[in-house]
Copies of this chain bind each other. A is one copy, B any other.
Amino acid sequence: MSMSEELNKLRAQIDEVNGELLTLLSRRAELTKQIGDVKVAQGVNRFDPVRERDMLDMIVASNPGPFDNDTIRHLFKQIFKASLDLQQQDHQKVLLV
């Protein structure tokens, strides 16, 4: 296999993984929206720093690499933040209705 063929093959695999990541991120966002709804109904605060820390600890504990733990923490914190922003937008929409 030539190097260009090798590169194309690897890129096709990356594209596939990107698609799977998108599916999972979207599924995760749907789940956090549902959690937000339950919490609003319960009247509890949606941001729970203990739960967030627990999730990060659990994730890092099973990190197989090659990303180091700090990078994994950073990426997941971005995902958590985006999910929380989405919950908040969602709740504001409800308040505006």
Copies in the complex: 2
Chain B residues with Cβ below 8 Å from A14 are 28, 31-32, 35, 55
Contact indicator A41/B3 (Cβ below 8 Å) = yes
The residues in A between 33 and 81 inclusive whose CB is less than 8 angstroms from any CB of B are: 33-35, 38-39, 41-42, 51, 55, 58-59, 62-67, 71-72, 74-76, 78-79
Contact of A18 among B20, B22, B55, B85 (CB under 8 A): B55
Interface size of A by Cβ–Cβ distance < 8 Å?
Answer: 51
Residues of B within 8 A of A72 (CB): 22, 25
Chain B residues near A6 (CB-CB < 8 A): 38
Q: Which 8 pairs of residues, A with B, have the shortest CB-CB distance?
A: A17-B28, A10-B35, A29-B66, A71-B82, A26-B64, A29-B67, A78-B78, A3-B42
